[in-house]
Amino acid sequence: MVSWRGIFPALSTPTNRKGELDEESLRSEVEWNIKWGAHGLAVSIIAGEFYKFTENERMRIFEITVDEANGKVPVLAGISHSGTEPAVMMGKYAKDIGADGLIVMPPYFRKEISNVEILQHFREIAGKIDLPIMIQDAEDAIGIHMCPTLYMNLLDEFSNIVAVKVEGRDTLQKISDIKRLLDDRLIIFGGMAARLIFQELALGASGNIPDACLTDLLVKVYDNIQLGKIDAAQEIYAKYKLWLDFLSSHSTSSAEIEKETLRLRGIIRCSHTRGPNVSLSPKEKEELKEILARIDLI
């Protein structure tokens, strides 16, 4: 049994100006997210640009994150891959080095993939790796639809499939459907940079997996919601939304915005982002800096 709840930030993957993994900055990011009150960490998922890093690099990222977290919070290792066997290989490695769980999307190379293939993919992972698993249902990002009955089939077979991260245009409807069909059998997390965190939690979600650069604000939002202090939560969220609106209006640069935010806050050394990426202009970086200063974060 797991009791994942709260804010589990999706770590950015910092690199130096040459595009090489910056291990010291990653350790700093882990350390600061824990200081900010993160209830858990998700590593090597979409916000961490997993698709730009090799399997060996991703496994090293698992190692660093687990080592730096040192059991203070659960670490979910992202093993999403276009193939089942590489995902299983990375998942086994994550278990061996002490990760607390896995987070994984369906194979994302073919948008026309069948439910049979999706089920086979998750069955292989769940059957071969004895760790709790969160399914990442990111239909808008990968174009693959999964319905709640698919989750139900997997839950009936595997006790280690315990959670789902739901994100996309139909997030709120899907959360409602999951609660109606599965009640509390499946832990639900939202995503999408916490755009819908109030609505998700009201519908029965247990938490959210946002970006990892403003975790301190979102932990306060979550904690106040849990205490029933909705006005206080909304006041804090209004600050966060200034940054979120900037992110939304520069969506092709989202990874760099998250890293530049971390850099401006003194957490990582460089906001270099591997391609493909649309770089922020000097003017846009200055605008981001002004937003962070306005909300007293730098």
**pLDDT tens readout for residues 195-239:** 999 999 999 999 999 999 999 999 999 999 999 999 999 999 999
How far apart are the C-alpha atoms of 232 and 25, rounded to whole Å? Answer: 32
Rounded average pLDDT over 269-275: 98
**Bond into 276 cis (ω within 30):** yes
Q: What is the pLDDT of residue 1?
A: 76
Rounded average pLDDT over 266-278: 97
How far apart are the C-alpha atoms of 17 and 188, rounded to whole Å? Answer: 37
**pLDDT tens readout for residues 162-193:** 999 999 989 999 999 999 999 999 999 999 99
- Residues β-bridged to residue 15: 21
Length of the chain: 298
Residue 260: pLDDT band (50, 70, 90) is very high
Residue 110 has pLDDT above 90, yes or no: no
**pLDDT tens readout for residues 153-167:** 999 999 999 999 999
Q: What is the pLDDT of residue 186?
A: 96
pLDDT more than 90, % of the chain: 95
pLDDT more than 70, % of the chain: 100
Specify the pTM.
0.97
**pLDDT tens readout for residues 2-26:** 999 999 999 999 999 999 999 999 9
How far apart are the C-alpha atoms of 128 and 139, rounded to whole Å? Answer: 25
Quote the mean pLDDT of the chain.
Answer: 97
Residue 62: pLDDT band (50, 70, 90) is very high
Q: What is the pLDDT of residue 176?
A: 97
How far apart are the C-alpha atoms of 88 and 65, rounded to whole Å? Answer: 19
Q: What is the pLDDT of residue 109?
A: 82
Strand order in the sheet with 6-7: 6-7, 207-208, 187-190, 161-167, 133-138, 101-104, 75-78, 41-43
